[in-house]
Amino acid sequence: MNGTAPGMFSRREVKDIVISVIVLSVVFAYPEVFFEPVFFLVSLFVVGVAFMGHELSHRFTARRFGYFAEYRMWPQGIMLAIFFTLVSNGSFIFAAPGAVVFGSFWAFKNPTMEEVGKIGIAGAVFNIALMFILIVANFFYSHWVLAYAALINAWLAIFNLIPLGPLDGKKVLHWNRGIWTLGFALAIIGFVYLNLF
- C-alpha pair distances (Å), 55 with each of 61, 157, 160: 10, 11, 11
Residue (of 47, 42, 3) closest to 25 by Cα position: 47
Q: Do the domain assignments include residue 143?
A: yes
What's the total number of domains in the chain? 1
Residues 6+ apart with CB under 8 A from 26: 33, 40, 43, 85
Q: Among residues 13, 32, 36, 55, which one is catalytic? A: 55
Cis peptide preceding 31, ω within 30 of 0: yes
> For every residue of 135-171, which 3-state class applies, written as one string?
HHHHHHCCCHHHHHHHHHHHHHHHHHCCCCCCCHHHH
- Asked if residues 41 and 25 have their Cβ atoms less than 8 Å apart, the reply is no
Q: Do the domain assignments include residue 5?
A: no
Q: Do the domain assignments include residue 2?
A: no
Q: What is the pTM of this model?
A: 0.91
- C-alpha pair distances (Å), 68 with each of 7, 43, 105: 10, 31, 7
Q: Print pLDDT tens along the chain (197 aa).
A: 444 555 688 999 999 999 999 999 999 999 888 888 889 999 999 999 999 999 999 999 999 999 999 999 999 999 999 999 999 999 999 999 999 999 877 656 788 999 999 999 999 999 999 999 999 999 999 999 999 999 999 999 999 999 998 899 999 999 999 999 999 999 999 999 999 98
pLDDT for residue 9:
86
Q: Do the domain assignments include residue 3?
A: no
Q: Do the domain assignments include residue 6?
A: no
The maximal CA–CA distance of the chain, rounded, in angstroms, is 54
For residue 52, the enclosing domain spans 11-196
Residue 55 bears catalytic tag: yes
pLDDT for residue 36:
86
